[in-house]
Each structure stands twice: as structure tokens, then as C-alpha cells.
Amino acid sequence: MIKTATHANSKLVAYSIYEDLCNGSYELALTKIKQVLKSVCDAHCLPLAQTWSPCAQQGRLGCQKQSIGCMSIISSTSYLFNPNVSGLYKACTELHVVHGKGIVGKAIGTNQACFATDITGFCKSEYPLADHAKVFGLGGAVAIRLQSTYTGPTEFVMDFFLPSDCRSDEEQKHMLSSISCVM
């Protein structure tokens, strides 16, 4: 079932995951994504991996930025390999990312992985949690858009933070290649 919500001057079509995907395909996709995140993090000691999706897709119809393509984390599919970065994860769960901003927002508009060698170098308007990433010693991150075969037009972005000791260009290229092999 498609729900239409009128929001200020714009109309948006929001898919309620609980009504539109009642056959369990959404939950199956989330389970598979969680398995991939866990597998990649465990294999490469990545401290944190998260799954983002449009707020409307998650049934969050009250999101203030929904009309401009707002995305937020699906907590049930995120994977925390290193508990020392749980503060960053907590901050990310409260964040909404707009399409085109940061690597996650840019990944939703492309079929290419979006990579940043050092997310702490972003300004606050581009990546509001750059300071948090710096506090937790993180640098590189990659965001990969995923459209599930289980859910059709439903979109996700997988966001992987590279280990804090993975700083050189060569190390980061090798890590990206290794992540791609698992995907």
C-alpha cells in the first residue's frame, strides 16, 4: 500500500515498510545486509558499519527534512565491531543525512562507491560528525549504495569506517579492494 503524505508545499510518496512490504522481503533484505556488514567487519577489523535508508522508506513520516531526501540509520542492521567507537555510532543514530551531503548522501545518487580518505577533514555542513570521528581516531570511510533484489525499488547505503591504523593511500586502496571482493 502506498501512503501519500502532504508536507508543507510538496507532496511526497512514502512507502510504509510495514504495510507495503508485508511479505517479509524488507526484513529478509535487512537480515542479509546485517550478515554482509558483520562478515566484512569481522574479516577486515572494520570498527563500524551502518546501513542508511531514506526516512520515508523506513516509515518515518514525521521527519522534518524528508522532502529533500533525508536518510537515517537502520539500527538493526548496523554492526559495531569495536565497542570503543560506540559513541560515534550513538551520534550517527541521531543524525539525518540529506542526499548529496557527505559520502552517504552522495552514494545514494550513484552506482559507484563513495570514498573519503579522511572524514575528519569534512566541514560540519558536509559531515556533521567529523569531530566525533576525529575523537574516535577514525579516518577513511566508504559508502556503497545497494538496491536489494528482495525489495525492488527499496534503497540502502552501507557505510563502512576503515580501521584507525589504515591511513596510507596504499593501505586504503587494498582495504577497499578487499571490501569489494566480499560484496
| Residue 109 belongs to a domain | yes
Q: What phi and psi, each to the nearest 5 degrees, are found at residue 173? A: -60, -45
Structural domain count, the chain: 1
Q: 76-120, pLDDT tens digit by residue?
A: 999 999 999 999 999 999 888 888 888 998 998 887 889 999 999
Between CA 32 and CA 138 the distance in angstroms is 26
Range of the domain at 43: 24-182
Pick from 57, 50, 56, 71: nearest CA to 26: 57
| Residue 15 belongs to a domain | no
CATH number reported for the structural domain that contains residue 100 in this entry? 3.30.450.40
Q: What phi and psi, each to the nearest 5 degrees, are found at residue 73? A: -80, 140
Q: What predicted TM-score, i.e. pTM, was given to this entire model?
A: 0.82
| Residue 167 belongs to a domain | yes
| Residue 155 belongs to a domain | yes
| Residue 13 belongs to a domain | no
CA distances from residue 149 to 7, 27, 153, 155 in whole angstroms, order as listed: 30, 13, 9, 10
Residues of the chain with pLDDT > 90, as a percent, come to 49
